[in-house]
C-alpha cells in the first residue's frame, strides 16, 4: 500500500503540470445504448466470414432466446436479451462457427429461464446443448463458503472446456460484456466480480493466447478495483500520447523506410500499453512513470519467418541494441502458442523503442489465441480435435485440468488453478534438450514435477548448468536442470508444498503426502487387526477379508486397515465381519498393577514364527513406519524396559514398564506392542524424563538444583513449583537426558545437596 500511495502521489504531481483533455468515457451511471441488434444484423455478421452459415439455425436461436428471457431486465434496465446478443456479437468478431454463436445466444437459458437441457437438445441438437450445459452454473450448492461455490463452478467450467474449447470462448465473451456493464451492478458484487475476473478469467484468456481480450478484462477490473490509480495512469498516458504524437509517427516512418531500403516488405505500427500493464510494472519494479522505457511498442508484421530475421538484422544494424532486452519466441514459442521476436533499440531522438517482429499468422494468434483457428471451416473435424493437433495452449489446459481435478477440496482446487494461470514464464531445459516452461520465480521442485510426477516425488538433489544446487533454487531463462532422484524416497517432504510455485507441483506434493499418511494409518491398522486375531487364536487372511468388505462398507483391504488405524472401525468389527460368531473377550482387572501388567505382557506375545517381525525399534521420533511419541507425565529413556501402546489415529505411545498409566490398557491387549531401543551411539540424542524434588525453602536453593542438572549435561524442559509446607517446596522438573544411567547420575548428585530433602523419578 505504501508503494501504491507513493506512485499515485508522484503521478498526480506530474499530471498537474500537464494539460490533459477531459476523459471521453461516459459518466458513471449513464445508461448504455438501448438499441438491440436485429436478426438480419447478426446473420450478416456471421455471413461476412462464413458464407455457408446456417441462417435458419441462427434465426431460430435468436427468437428462442428472446422469448425465453421474455420481460427479464438487466441491472441497467435494458432487456436481458441484449446481453446474450452482445456476447454473440463479440464472438462474431472472432469469426467463430454457427454452433458457438447459437450457444452464446442460449447460454443463460437453462440457468435463468424455464428452458431445459432436453429441450435445447431437441430443438438445436446435442452439440449446442452440451455447450450451453457447460456454461450453466451449478445450482443449490451446499457449500460452506463463497470460495468453495466459486471453485466448484470453476471446476465444472474447466472440465467442460477440456471437452470443447468453445465453452471457454463463450464464457470469456460473457465475462467481457458483463465487465463492460459492471457499473450498473451493486458495489459489493462489482468488486467481487472484478477480483474474480483479474484472478481467473483474464489470466485464462492470456493462457489461451487471447491477449486483446486479456488486456481489456484486466483494464476493466483495474478501473473497478482501484479507480484512483487507474485515473492517474490513464491521464499520464493520454498526456504522453499527445506530447509524443509526432515522435510515434516519425519512428513508424523511419522503421518502414529502413526496412524497405533493405528489401524487406513490412507493415509497421505503434501502440501504447494499457493502464493495468503500466501499473503492475511500476509496482513490480518500484519505479516511476518516467523511468518506464516501453510505454509505447512497435510491431513489424511480415510475410514469413525468414523475413522476420532479416528485419531483425536491419533493425540491429541501424540502431544500438539495449542489452538484455532480446527474446526469440519464434524459435522457442510460449505455452500459449505465442511466437514473436522481442528486442529494444535506441531509436530516433535517443528514445528507447520496443519492437515485436512477427508474421501475419503469428500476429493473429498473438491477438486472438486459440480463437484465431478457423473453427467454421469444413473438413477440419471438431474444434477440440483441431486444437489437439495445432494448439499447445489447449494441450496445456487439458493437462492442467487433469491434475487439478484431483484436488481434495474446492478451496485447494481454486488455489491451484490461480497458481497455474501465471502468465510470465521462464524457459528451462532438461539435459536431453526438452523445453520446460514454468512461471516466473519457479524453482527446481516445480521443474521436477513438470518433467514427471515420479521425478518430483523421488527428487533428492539437482544440478543447474552442471553445478550442484539446492532444490529450492529459483530458475532463470535458459537454465539446464538435471534432477537427481533416489528410489529410497517414494514421497516428498510435506514442507515442499510451501516452496513450490506451480499448482501442479503443490497438487502432487499434497497428494503424495495424503497417500503416505494413509499408508501409515493402514500399517497401524494392520498391526492392530493382526494382534487381535493372534490373541483370539483365529486365522487372518486378506482373501477372507476381501469377501467381508461389503459388510464393512469399504472397497478395499487398504481402506479397512486405514479406517482401523484412524479409529473409524474397531478391530473387533473386522473380526465379526469375517467370523460372524466371533465374540470379543474381556479380561476383568482383578489384580494389582504390576501383576496385571505382567499378565498382559504375556498375552501380548502370541507364539507364532513371525513374532519378531512385530518388534518396533525406538530411537526417537520418526524412526519407525508409524508415528511414535513418548508417554506424557514422565516419558521413557534408554535403559528402561518399555512397551508400546497403539492408539488408532495417533500411532504408538512408548511407556516404561513401571508406568502406572499402563493399568488403563489392561482390558485391551490387542493394543500392546513389543518395542525395543535402537540407539545410534555415534549421534547421541536426548529423551524425556520427569523427576520430583522436595527442596528446602531458602534463597538460592532452586539455583543449586538447576546448577547440578546443568553441570551434568541435563536439559530442563519445564519446571513447576508448589509449596508443600513453610519449609519445603515441591519441584516437578521435566528433563531431557541421554539414558537411564545419565538420569540416575543426576538424581544421585541432587540427593547429595543439602538443600534437597528428597528426589524421585515420576512415571505417568
Which position among 54, 55, 111, 678 bears the catalytic label? 111
Q: Which of 242-251, 631-640, 689-698 has the lowest mean pLDDT?
A: 242-251
What's the rounded mean pLDDT across residues 367-381? 64
Could you tell me if 99 and 55 are in contact, meaning their C-beta atoms sit under 8 angstroms apart? Answer: no
Residue 612 has pLDDT above 70, yes or no: no
Q: Which residue has the cell 457449500?
A: 143
For residue 429, what is its C-alpha cell? 531445459
Contacts (Cβ under 8 Å, ≥6 apart) of 210: 172, 367, 368, 369, 370, 371
pLDDT score of 325: 82
pLDDT tens per residue across span 208-226: 778 889 899 999 999 998 8
pLDDT score of 32: 42
Beta strand spans in 562-686 (E): 616-618, 628-630, 642-647, 651-656, 672-677
- Answer yes or no: 112 catalytic: yes
Residue 104 has pLDDT above 90, yes or no: yes
What's the rounded mean pLDDT across residues 92-111? 91
Contacts (Cβ under 8 Å, ≥6 apart) of 27: none
Instruction: Provide the pLDDT confidence category of residue 490 given band limits of 50, 70 and 90.
Output: confident
What is the pTM for the complete model shown?
0.55
pLDDT score of 353: 82
For residue 124, what is its C-alpha cell? 438445436
pLDDT tens per residue across span 702-731: 889 999 998 888 999 889 888 767 778 889
- Say how far apart CA 595 and CA 673 lie, in whole Å: 18
Q: Which of 140-149, 174-183, 188-197, 739-748 has the lowest mean pLDDT?
A: 140-149
> What is the share, in percent, of the chain residues with pLDDT greater than 90?
20
With both helix axes pointing from N to C terminus, report the angle between 98-106 and 126-134 in degrees, rounded to the nearest 10.
Answer: 50
What's the rounded mean pLDDT across residues 227-251? 80
Residue 27 has pLDDT above 60, yes or no: no
**Count of CB atoms within 10 A of residue 81's CB?**
22
pLDDT tens per residue across span 257-289: 889 888 888 998 887 778 888 887 777 666 666
pLDDT score of 418: 57
> What is the share, in percent, of the chain residues with pLDDT greater than 70?
77
pLDDT score of 598: 38
pLDDT score of 530: 85
Beta strand spans in 247-295 (E): 267-272
Could you tell me if 417 and 504 are in contact, meaning their C-beta atoms sit under 8 angstroms apart? Answer: no
What's the rounded mean pLDDT across residues 731-736? 91
pLDDT tens per residue across span 544-594: 888 888 888 888 888 888 888 777 788 888 888 888 888 765 443 333 333
pLDDT score of 137: 63
For residue 591, what is its C-alpha cell? 489384580
Could you tell me if 457 and 512 are in contact, meaning their C-beta atoms sit under 8 angstroms apart? Answer: yes
pLDDT mean across residues, the chain: 79
Residue 79 has pLDDT above 70, yes or no: yes
For residue 313, what is its C-alpha cell? 538484422
pLDDT score of 524: 79
Which pairing describes strands 715-723 and 728-737: parallel, antiparallel, or unpaired?
antiparallel
pLDDT tens per residue across span 406-439: 555 555 555 555 555 544 567 788 888 887 878 7
Q: Which residue has the cell 464472438?
A: 91
Partners of 355 in the β-ladder? 298, 343
pLDDT score of 60: 93
pLDDT score of 590: 33
Q: Provide the 8-state DSSP code for 153.
A: H
pLDDT score of 343: 92
pLDDT score of 35: 59
CA dihedral 322, 327, 328, 334 (to 10 degrees): -160
Among 411, 390, 399, 401, CA closest to 450: 399
Q: Which of 379-388, 530-539, 575-584 has the lowest mean pLDDT?
A: 379-388
Which position among 55, 112, 127, 474 bears the catalytic label? 112
Helix, strand and coil percent figures for the chain, each rounded to 5: 50, 15, 35
By CB atoms closer than 10 A (0-12, 13-18, 19+), residue 433 is: exposed
Amino acid at each position: 500500500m505504501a508503494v501504491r500511495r507513493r506512485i499515485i502521489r508522484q503521478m498526480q504531481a506530474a499530471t498537474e503540470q500537464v494539460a490533459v483533455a477531459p476523459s471521453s468515457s461516459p459518466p458513471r451511471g449513464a445508461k448504455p445504448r438501448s438499441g438491440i441488434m436485429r436478426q438480419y444484423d447478426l446473420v450478416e455478421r456471421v455471413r461476412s466470414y462464413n458464407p455457408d452459415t446456417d441462417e435458419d439455425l441462427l434465426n431460430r436461436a435468436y427468437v428462442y432466446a428472446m422469448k425465453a428471457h421474455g420481460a427479464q431486465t438487466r441491472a441497467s434496465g435494458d432487456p436481458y436479451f441484449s446481453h446474450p446478443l452482445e456476447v454473440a456479437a463479440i464472438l462474431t468478431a472472432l469469426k467463430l462457427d454457427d454452433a458457438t454463436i447459437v450457444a452464446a445466444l442460449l447460454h443463460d437459458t437453462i440457468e435463468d429461464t424455464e428452458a431445459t437441457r432436453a429441450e435445447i437438445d431437441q430443438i438445436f441438437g446435442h452439440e449446442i446443448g452440451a455447450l450451453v450445459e457447460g456454461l450453466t452454473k451449478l445450482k443449490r450448492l451446499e457449500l460452506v463458503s463463497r470460495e468453495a461455490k466459486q471453485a466448484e463452478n470453476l471446476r465444472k467450467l474447466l472440465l467442460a472446456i477440456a471437452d470443447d474449447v468453445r465453452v471457454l470462448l463463450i464464457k470469456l465473451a460473457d465475462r467481457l460484456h458483463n465487465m463492460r456493464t459492471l457499473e450498473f451492478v451493486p458495489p459489493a458484487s462489482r468488486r467481487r466480480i472484478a477480483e474474480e475476473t483479474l484472478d481467473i478469467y483474464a489470466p485464462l484468456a492470456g493462457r489461451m493466447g487471447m491477449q486483446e481480450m486479456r488486456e481489456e478484462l484486466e483494464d476493466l477490473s483495474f478501473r473497478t478495483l482501484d479507480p484512483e490509480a487507474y485515473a492517474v495512469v490513464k491521464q499520464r498516458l493520454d498526456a504522453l500520447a499527445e506530447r509524443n504524437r509526432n515522435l510515434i509517427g516519425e519512428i513508424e516512418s523511419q522503421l518502414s523506410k529502413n526496412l524497405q531500403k533493405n528489401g524487406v516488405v513490412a507493415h509497421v505500427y505503434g501502440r501504447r500499453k494499457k493502464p493495468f500493464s503500466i501499473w503492475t510494472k511500476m509496482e513490480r519494479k518500484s519505479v516511476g512513470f518516467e523511468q518506464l522505457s516501453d510505454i509505447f511498442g512497435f510491431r513489424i508484421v511480415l510475410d514469413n519467418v525468414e523475413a522476420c530475421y532479416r528485419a531483425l538484422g536491419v533493425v540491429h544494424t541501424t540502431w544500438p541494441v539495449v542489452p538484455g532486452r532480446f527474446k526469440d519466441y519464434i524459435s522457442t514459442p510460449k505455452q500459449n502458442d505465442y511466437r514473436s521476436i522481442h528486442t529494444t533499440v535506441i531509436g530516433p531522438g535517443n528514445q528507447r523503442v520496443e519492437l515485436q517482429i512477427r508474421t501475419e499468422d503469428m500476429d493473429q494468434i498473438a491477438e486472438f489465441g486459440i480463437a484465431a483457428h478457423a473453427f467454421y471451416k469444413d473438413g477440419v473435424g471438431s474444434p477440440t480435435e483441431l486444437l489437439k493437433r495445432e494448439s499447445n495452449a489447449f494441450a496445456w489446459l487439458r493437462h492442467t485440468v487433469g491434475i487439478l481435478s484431483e484436488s481434495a477440496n474446492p478451496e485447494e482446487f481454486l488455489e491451484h488453478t490461480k497458481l497455474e494461470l501465471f502468465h510470465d514464464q521462464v524457459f528451462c531445459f532438461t539435459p536431453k534438450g526438452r523445453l520446460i516452461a514454468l512461471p516466473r520465480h519457479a524453482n527446481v521442485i516445480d521443474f521436477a514435477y513438470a518433467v514427471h510426477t515420479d521425478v518430483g516425488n523421488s527428487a533428492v538433489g539437482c544440478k543447474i548448468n552442471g553445478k550442484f544446487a539446492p532444490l529450492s533454487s529459483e530458475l532463470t531463462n535458459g537454465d539446464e536442470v538435471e534432477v537427481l532422484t533416489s528410489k529410497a524416497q517414494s514421497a516428498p517432504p510435506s514442507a515442499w508444498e510451501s516452496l513450490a510455485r506451480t499448482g501442479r507441483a503443490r497438487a502432487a506434493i499434497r497428494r503424495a503426502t495424503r497417500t503416505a499418511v494413509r499408508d501409515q494409518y493402514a500399517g497401524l491398522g494392520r498391526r492392530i487387526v493382526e494382534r487381535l486375531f493372534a490373541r483370539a487364536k483365529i486365522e487372518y487372511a486378506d482373501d477372507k477379508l476381501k469377501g467381508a468388505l461389503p459388510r464393512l462398507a469399504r472397497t478395499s483391504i487398504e481402506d479397512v486397515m486405514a479406517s482401523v488405524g484412524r479409529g473409524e472401525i474397531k478391530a473387533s468389527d473386522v473380526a465379526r465381519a469375517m467370523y460372524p460368531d466371533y465374540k470379543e473377550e474381556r479380561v476383568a482387572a482383578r489384580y494389582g498393577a504390576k501383576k496385571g501388567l505382567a499378565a498382559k505382557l504375556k498375552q501380548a506375545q502370541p507364539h507364532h514364527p513371525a513374532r519378531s517381525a512385530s518388534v518396533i525399534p525406538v530411537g526417537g521420533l520418526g524412526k519407525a513406519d508409524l508415528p511414535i511419541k513418548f508417554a506424557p507425565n514422565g516419558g521413557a529413556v534408554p535403559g528402561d524396559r518399555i512397551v508400546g501402546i497403539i492408539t488408532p489415529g495417533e500411532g504408538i505411545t512408548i511407556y516404561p514398564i513401571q508406568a502406572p498409566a499402563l493399568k488403563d490398557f489392561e482390558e485391551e491387549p490387542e493394543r500392546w506392542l513389543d518395542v525395543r531401543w535402537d540407539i545410534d551411539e555415534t549421534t547421541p540424542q536426548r529423551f524425556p524424563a520427569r523427576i520430583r524434588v522436595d527442596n528446602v525453602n531458602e534463597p538460592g536453593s532452586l539455583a543449586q538444583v538447576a546448577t547440578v542438572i546443568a553441570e551434568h549435561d541435563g536439559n530442563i524442559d519445564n519446571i513447576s513449583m508448589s509449596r508443600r509446607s513453610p519449609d519445603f517446596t515441591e519441584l516437578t522438573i521435566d528433563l531431557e537426558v541421554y539414558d537411564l544411567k545419565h538420569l540416575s547420575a543426576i538424581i544421585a548428585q541432587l540427593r547429595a545437596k543439602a538443600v534437597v530433602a528428597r528426589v524421585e523419578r515420576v512415571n505417568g
